[in-house]
Every structure is written in C-alpha cells, then in structure tokens.
Structure 1
Amino acid sequence: MLLRLVNQGADGIRHTVISLQDEGAYGAAMKAAGITVHCLRMRRGLPLPPALWRLVALLRREHPDILQTWLYHADLMGLIAGRLVGVPRIIWSIRCSSMEMASYRRSSGLVRWVLAKLSPFPDLVLANSHAGIADHRTLGYRPRAWGYIPNGFDLKEWRPDPAAKERLRARLGLPSDHLLVGLVARFDPQKDHQTFMTAAAEVAEERPDVAFLLVGRGVEPGRPPFSLARGKAPLAGRLHFMEESKDVPQLMPGLDLLALSSAWGEGFPNVIGEAMACAVPCVVTNVGDAAAIVGDTGLSVPVGDASGLARAMLNLLSLDEGARSRLGETARDRVSHHYSIQHVVDEYSRLYHHMIHLTDGKIPCAV
C-alpha cells in the first residue's frame, strides 16, 4: 500500500521514505518513480541507538511536516526521533489484527507492549481495518484519535483479462476446461497453508476438474504440507506452485476463484482487493476485515475450518461460468466504489492537509 500511495502522489504532498533496514522489495520501484529512499540498515530486533541517531539526523535534514510510521518498530523509532526533532505531527499506522506474537521474536511483543503505553503521544493512530482498531484497543492502545483509511487498488493494473485463463492453463499444462483455485500468500504460519491444503483435498475428491495454484515467497513443493499431498490422491497432479512472482496482476484474472485461508494477523488483506479488482470471486476465512471486504461478492468461513472452506469453494465452483462471472463483476464494482487507489489517495491527501493546518483537534478520518 505504501508503494501505491507514494507512486500516486497527491497535490502539494512530497513523500520521502525511510526504511529501518534495507530497500526491501519496493525500494527500487520507489526510486524509479522519483521517490527519495533512505535506509537505516538496522538489524532485526529491538531498535538500537545508532539507527535511532541516524533517523534523528535524517529528520533534522528533511524537516518534515508530518511523520507517518508503518508497523510496530517504526512506530516506536518514529515517535522517539520525531519528538526529539520536533516534527509537528506524528501518525502511527496499524496494518494488522490479532497477531500471534509467539510466532515472532520476543522483542516484537515487547515493542508492541511499549507502544500501548506510549499510544497517547502520537497525534493519530491510523488503521487500514476496523478489526485492527478493535484488536489494539483490547491491547491497551489509548490514542488521542483513531483513524481509518482502507487499502486502495489501481483498477488499471488489476483488471479482468478474458485471455488470461487460457494463457495460464497453457502455462500450467492444464486442459482449457479445468477450473483453477488460487492461493497467493507467502509461506508463513499466519497464512495457514495447512487449512487450505486440507480443504483442497476435499474439493479434489468431489471435483476432478479442479486444480490449485499456490503462489508466494517460500511456497515450494518440497515443503510440508505440500510434499506429501502432491504425490498421492486426490491431489496428485493437481497442485501447481510458483515462487514469489512479479506477474501476479497477469496471473490473477486467470483464476476462477481466490482463496484466503489465513488464521490470524490480517488487517486488510491486499490479495482480496487485487482478486476482486480482477473480477475473481473470493472465499476467505473471517480474519481481520476480510469478510466485510468481500461482502456479498464471495463467501467467508470461520478461521481454521477446512471443511467449511472446502464447502464454500465447491459452492462457488458449482456456479455456471456466467453466474461466476457476474459475481466477479460485482466484486470489481465493489472495489471501484470503496477501495479504488484514487479514493484512498484522496483520503490521505485530505488527512495530511488537515493535520498540517490542524488547530481544532478534529481529524477528518477519525472513528
């Protein structure tokens, strides 16, 4: 979302991006778009003084009107450095909900605990999901103001493509009449690939004309839970894998259905909005705001309910092609009306301009 936001730009807003570590996956794209990117080269774990002082020096040099931080470690570093430098307005950003901190370093849990205590000090805590706000309230966050702006999607980049299905099936060596269910997610406990695999096996038992495509960093056929399932019925020959790919916007419209099996941690899952923008119906677990985003254009099931996920997939796969296409068109319309990138950029622009001139304490996106 940050890449989309800075790439789109807004009237009178100049973005400078500071990464706590290196350029990551998006630094080069930001630089190519003319965005200034600085890297603090901080090692993973607790924020360390050298990185903090580099951030202080950068802020003194850049002299920003607003410092918006993204994710927990940046929230902590940004608050300390921003207050030392005297940045006029500081915004924290929450992009998750119901995190299982046992799956991460202890330092991450400690940072989040500290942030709850410090939450009255930023000017605004901005979330991309209502679930994220509710979850962090239970964690003890008590900010001056909460804000909500959802993720946004470029409908020119993510769009239907009538030729995509035939092209993708040819690439995978599938018959042209086979249906294809996709899961686009990095390999991580949060994404709960095991639930998806169990559901896929149930679908495969009933529908021999359905195949499954898994795309994402670390999604390798030799890894459990894929290694055993791919070699025996009912999933033998039915599973297809792609490592992290830059051509997902071209792959997505080739799917008949997109599944999200995440168990926790999601706020606003980007992959749902991307699929819906491509007119691909979604079946999701009820994690974060996923069910609310999909609305009546897809189906949601409880977290961890593999049989429920399988039934939901079978329900949508049983629709004739015309009905499924109409459902996908409704999904794209929903993104256009509620989650287009231009709408979201306009929301950020209004927020930034208001906060720069803030005198009455009222935040336009506050909830």
Structure 2
Amino acid sequence: MKKNNILHIIIGLGKGGAEKTLYQSIIKTKNCFNHKVISLTDSGYYRNLLIDNSVEVYCCNFKKKSLNVLPFIRILYLLLLNRKYTFQTWMHHSNFLGGIIGKLFFVKKIYWNIRGEGISDKHSKILTKFIFKMNAKLSYFIPNKIITCSKSAINNYVNNGYKNNFLLIHNGCDTNIYKSNINIRKIYRKKLNLDDNIFVIGMAARFSRQKNHLLLLETLKSLNDKNIPFVCLLAGSQMNKMNKKLKNYIDELNLKNQVILLDQIDNINDFMNAIDIHVLTSSYGEGFPNVIIESMACETISISSDVGDSSIILNNNKFVFEKDNKQDFLKKLLYLYNIYVNDINTWKNISFKNHKIVKDFYSIEKMINDYKMIWTK
C-alpha cells in the first residue's frame, strides 16, 4: 500500500511540547507515512532522535536579525521540492510561512497546528502579535484544517477572528512509559539524599515569565513559614545555579535548604515518580500542558493554575487555583499536604484515579489515531 507523504515544518526542534508531539506523531506512524521535517532555525534536541529513526531532517538556520538571505532561499527550495507532500505546519511562524509558500506552490493539503491557548498582549513579541493577526485572516483560505490540542485555544482563536475550522486532538501520554514505579522513586531520592517520607513538590518547566516561578517560590516561603517540612525539585531549561535571577529569588526568600535545581532533564518519568505533587504556576499561554498528564500517569498528584485546559484535565476544582493568586495556591497546597499526612488511603485513591483518567482519555494511542485519520484524508 502506498504511503502518504507528510512534510512537517516547525520553527525549531528543541525541547518543548509541540516538538515532542511532532516527534511522537512521526515515530508512531512511520510505518504508515513517509515523513520529512524542516526546522526553520537550528537542530535542537529532537533532530538526532528523528535521524536515528530514519527520518529526513533539514535545518535552515534562519535567524530573525540576520540579513543573510540564504536560509530563506533554502526554505523556498525545500518547500518547492516537496510541494507534492501534505504540509503539516507547527505553531504561528511556521503556519504563516509554510502556509503562504504552500499556497503559492499549489500544495493541495495544508494543516496548521496551534499549541498554546493564545498570545499575551503584555508579554508576546511584536512580530508574534503581527503573525497572530495575519494568520487570523489567512485561516479563511489557507489551511484545510487547524489542529489544536485544547478547547480553550479554539475559543480564544475564534474570538480573535480565526475561522472556526478547528480539529481538537488532545496531547497523548504513553502509559507504558509514564507509570508509577516505587523503585525509581527510591533510587531518584537516594541520589538527591532525600528521605523516603519527605514531602516533595516538583515543577518541570523552563525558566520564563510565562511559567511564573516567582509565584511558586513565594508560596513555598509561606509554606516554610508554617514550619511544614518539604523539598521542591525544579527541572527545566535554566533551572540551575548559573541563573542569577532565579538564585537571587531563592536566596532572598531563604529557600536554599528547600529548593533543589536539577537543570534540564531527559527522563521526566523518573522525576514524576520521585515527587509527591507536581505543580504548574503558569500565568498565561498554556494550551494543554503535557506535564499535567505525565504526572497523573505516574500516579503523582498534580495541581495547576487555571490556564488552558488544566481545569478540564484535572476535573476537580480542589486541584486548580486562580492564576497569579498566591493565597489560593497556598490553600490548595495545604489541603493536599494534610491529605498526604493524615489520610494516605485518600491520597492513594486520588493517585490511582489520575492514572486511569490519562489511560481512558489522554492516551498516546488515541492521539496517534487522530493524526492518522486527518493525514489519511
């Protein structure tokens, strides 16, 4: 049977939610489709992983502030060369560039992929705001379909003028990889010299204004002031002592003995097994946070600010707090800490239900089947 050809166009291949979904969707369907990937910028984390799986990857090294036109010429050439492929573009800049060029080259099928909830008027760059508005107009005649991973994104984009031509494909989690493992928990904690019974809070997120680590640290200070014994593990890009801004926050709030910086890590499954609660304190920009379902799959309790589809995934307002609200966040943390200390059966019951929710509604198999269906049309 002849395989359909899919050309993926993405801004870069570093560690991120969109990049991870692109990688998973390719690896899990490579027996059904011929995939190629164009990174508009550099290589990043997923390049070698894709190449190791016999996927052709082209990096154009496009730089925003550079006057060098060669990367743009290379992009044009690669898109022209593969114009008979179905174009699957990922995120705003790729949707814009890949969509326009694809239309000019008479590409028959162009699918946009939008990940986050939307853009922020306060925090988004001017170019991103411009492309966001231009894509709203282009959405009426370029993409055959706009794929997104969250209901909140659909509502936000339609309200901002995008054509209501969306297909909802939730992110999926591989529960054969992400699952509870007591041995991993013990080994991970032993490496960090953490007692088996210490209450461990964790957050896996890059250091950025969007993720709002300051809210987390200020709330941890309030927890510390109440003499509650805990440790917090922070993993992600720039989560290290070289980050002076982060280090100053920790020092000023007197949390040196409570916070451990792990930097960027490869095995999120191990991290999620080592902690008792995963928190997400984002202020904006989230669509469908992968870390929530990854923690839940590992039977680790997750709480999140009310951004994107977090409240839909968690399906319990006791695990969701008002964004940027320290008091509400602290209230939810204390509620869960009391269950952890005083009612272990309820704690285990919540943990087990978390895994079941992911398996029933957010499995990797469901996500892959949805991508197969759209790419086969």
Aligned pairs for 1:26-65 within 5 A: 26-44=46-64, 50-65=70-85
Letter in 2 for 1:84: L
- Are 1:229 and 2:255 matched, yes or no? no
Q: 2:117 aligns with which of 97, 101, 125?
A: 97
Partner of 1:188 in structure 2? 208
Distance 2:313 2:177 in 1: 19
Residues 1:5 and 1:48: Cα distance change in structure 2 (over 3 Å): farther
Deviation at 1:213, TM superposition (A): 0.7
Q: Could you tell me whether the CA contact under 8 Å between 1:297 and 1:330 is conserved in 2?
A: no
Query: Structure 1 CA distance, aligned partners of 2:103 and 2:118?
Result: 29
The residue that corresponds to 1:136 in the other structure is: 157
The aligned residue for residue 333 of structure 1 is: 356
Q: Deviations over 1:208-261 (max 9, x none)?
A: 32111111101234533542434664x341111111111222121111000000
**Secondary structure of 1:97's match?**
coil
TM-score normalized by the length of structure 2: 0.87
Q: CA shift at 1:347, angstroms? A: 0.8
Kept in 1, the 8 Å contact 2:116–2:285? The answer is: yes
**Contact 1:18/1:39 (<8 A) preserved:** yes
Corresponding residue for residue 299 of structure 2: 279
Q: What is residue 230 of structure 2 aligned with on the other side?
A: 210
Moved more, 81-90 or 260-269: 81-90
User: Does 2:358 correspond to 1:348?
Assistant: no
Task: Judge conservation of contact 1:202–1:307 (CA < 8 Å) in 2.
Answer: no
Amino acid at match of 1:263: S
Taking the aligned partners of 2:352 and 2:84, their CA distance within structure 1 comes to: 42
Change (3 A) 1:223 1:153: same
Q: Which residue of 1 aligns with 2:16?
A: none
| C-alpha distance in 2 between matches for 1:334 and 1:292 | 11
Deviation at 1:46, TM superposition (A): 10
> d(CA) in 1 for partners of 2:319 and 2:163?
34
Say if 1:98 and 1:73 are closer, same or farther in 2 by CA, change over 3 A.
Answer: closer
Name the SS for the 2:45 alignment partner.
Answer: coil
SS at the partner of 1:15? strand
Q: Distance in 1 between matches of 2:311 and 2:67?
A: 35
1:3 corresponds, among 20, 23, 26, to: 23
Q: Deviations over 1:116-138 (max 9, x none)?
A: 12111211111111111111112
1:289-326 CA-to-partner distances (Å, cap 9, x unmatched) read 11111113960011101121111112112213332222
Task: Pick 1 or 2: higher relative contact order, CA cutoff 8 A, min separation 6.
Answer: 1
Residues 175, 312 of structure 1: alpha-carbon distance in 2 compared, 3 angstrom cutoff: same
Kindly indicate whether the alpha-carbon contact (under 8 Å) linking 2:277 and 2:301 is maintained by their aligned counterparts in 1.
Answer: yes
Aligned partners of 1:353 and 1:284: how far apart in 2? 36
- SS at the partner of 2:38? strand
Per-residue CA deviations over 1:309-347 (Å, capped at 9, x if unaligned) read 111112112213332222111111111111111111001
Cα displacement (A) at 1:5? 0.9
Q: How does 1:66-215 map to 2 (within 5 A)?
A: 66-121=86-141, 122-143=143-164, 145-215=165-235
Secondary structure at the residue paired with 2:34?
Answer: coil
Partner letter of residue 163 of structure 1?
Answer: N
Helix, strand or coil: the match of 1:258? strand
What CA distance in whole angstroms lies between the structure 1 residues aligned with 2:50 and 2:157?
30
Q: Check 1:231–1:112 CA distance in 2 against 1; reply closer, same or farther (3 A cut).
A: closer
Secondary structure of 1:37's partner? strand
Question: What is the RMSD computed on CA atoms of the aligned residues?
Answer: 2.2
Q: Does 1:255 align with 2:278?
A: no
- The residue type paired with residue 349 of structure 1 is K
User: Take 1:45 and 1:6, find their aligned partners in 2: how far apart are those partners?
Assistant: 31
Q: Deviations over 1:44-82 (max 9, x none)?
A: 369996544433322332344421110111001111111
The alignment partner of 2:210 has SS state of helix
TM-score (norm 1): 0.90
